[in-house]
């Protein structure tokens, strides 16, 4: 165990499992269901699992996801509490009510383990934006930050993790209810891509639109440059995640470099299966620290 407490998270951080475990961060896995069969969110452990998942979507199947229930949280936390205090960062409540179940589990366990601290943080983030927050928290833990200090830092800074994203295929957003049928139909007919972000409550907001992939990239990068910390001098992590369209993600990276973000620590990552079940294969998302997110 690194530091004086245990830092834990959920599989929807959408960073490789090998990396997360190398940082000594225990993971609670989400699941998804296809044709009545349950699968664990893979976190890049098995390349064939990802290929199978997107093949199923191509065939018109809709993977179903569900929140993590109170009992799974209770089992997960109890094992961790045997070894020390726990600070758990949960997938944002703008995406799922799971964090509320985590809090209920924590209440029960605090009665059973009164000598232990069990802190639940609603990340207000999703996908690799959630991963960026967790990864940064691990840095601060390793630097010696105490659990209460890190709790405060997370609450003060979670709203500064920006999530900018777009998709060139609205099919999965329509199926999962993220956009209405008429909007998806018109968008598909006219080649219109919604430009989206997460607001201060961690909810998806479609705030603009662009016709075609190139225009969507330009609009997204324009918005990034408005909000990224220190503008072109940003030297923090900037994560570009794709569900299943690496060429589009690379085009975003090239455009960001053209705008002068050569000092940014740019990493290419993959959107996991649980998040991809809602956003679809043609989604690209970019995550970074910036100003405070608004409504």
d(CA 275, CA 42): 11
pLDDT at 177: 56
Give yes or no for residue 133 having a pLDDT over 90: yes
Give yes or no for residue 193 having a pLDDT over 90: no
- The 3-state DSSP composition of the chain as helix, strand, coil percent (nearest 5) reads 45, 25, 30
pLDDT at 1: 60
Give yes or no for residue 175 having a pLDDT over 70: no
pLDDT at 191: 73
**Between residues 256 and 169, which one has the greater pLDDT?**
256
**Between residues 279 and 11, which one has the greater pLDDT?**
11
Give yes or no for residue 74 having a pLDDT over 60: yes
d(CA 139, CA 105): 27
d(CA 202, CA 117): 26
pLDDT confidence bin for 2, thresholds 50/70/90: low
Do the domains at 6-159 and 160-289 have one common CATH topology? no
CATH assignment of 160-289, among 3.40.50.300, 3.40.50.620, 3.30.1180.10, 1.10.3720.10 = 3.30.1180.10
pLDDT at 178: 53
Give yes or no for residue 275 having a pLDDT over 80: yes
pLDDT at 149: 98
Contact assessment for residue 13 and residue 128, using Cβ atoms and an 8 Å cutoff: yes
**Between residues 170 and 185, which one has the greater pLDDT?**
170
Give yes or no for residue 263 having a pLDDT over 70: yes
Q: What is the pLDDT of residues 36-56, one digit of tens each?
A: 999 999 999 998 999 999 999
**Between residues 212 and 12, which one has the greater pLDDT?**
12
6-159: in CATH 1.25.50.10: no
| Domain map (residue ranges) of the chain | 6-159, 160-289
Average pLDDT, the chain: 93
Determine the straight-line distance between the first and last CA of the chain, rounded to whole angstroms: 38
Percent of the chain with pLDDT over 70: 92
pLDDT at 181: 59
CA pseudo-torsion sign 266, 235, 258, 294 = positive
């Amino acid at each position: 165990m690194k530091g004086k407490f245990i830092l834990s998270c959920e599989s929807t951080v959408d960073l490789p499992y090998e990396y997360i475990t190398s940082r000594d961060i225990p993971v609670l896995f989400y699941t998804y269901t296809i044709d009545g069969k349950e699968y664990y969110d893979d976190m890049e452990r098995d390349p064939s699992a990802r290929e199978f998942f997107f093949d199923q979507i191509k065939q018109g199947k809709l993977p179903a996801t569900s929140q993590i229930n109170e009992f799974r949280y209770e089992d997960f936390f109890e094992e961790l509490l045997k070894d020390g205090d726990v600070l758990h960062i949960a997938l944002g409540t703008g995406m799922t009510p799971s964090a509320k179940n985590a809090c209920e589990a924590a209440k029960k366990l605090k009665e059973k383990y009164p000598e232990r601290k069990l802190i639940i943080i609603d990340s207000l983030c999703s996908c690799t934006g959630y991963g960026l927050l967790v990864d940064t928290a691990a840095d601060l833990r390793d630097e010696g930050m105490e659990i209460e200090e890190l709790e405060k830092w997370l609450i003060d800074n979670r709203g500064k993790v920006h999530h900018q994203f777009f998709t060139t295929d609205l099919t999965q957003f329509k199926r999962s209810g993220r956009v209405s049928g008429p909007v998806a139909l018109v968008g598909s007919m006219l080649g219109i891509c919604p430009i989206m972000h997460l607001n201060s409550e961690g909810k998806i907001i479609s705030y603009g639109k662009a016709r075609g992939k190139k225009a969507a990239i330009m609009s997204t990068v324009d918005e990034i440059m408005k909000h990224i910390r220190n503008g072109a001098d940003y030297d923090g992590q900037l994560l570009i995640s794709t569900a299943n369209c690496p060429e589009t993600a690379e085009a975003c990276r090239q455009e960001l470099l053209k705008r002068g973000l050569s000092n940014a620590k740019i990493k290419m990552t993959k959107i996991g299966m649980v998040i991809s079940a809602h956003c679809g294969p043609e989604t690209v998302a970019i995550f970074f620290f910036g100003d405070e997110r608004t409504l």
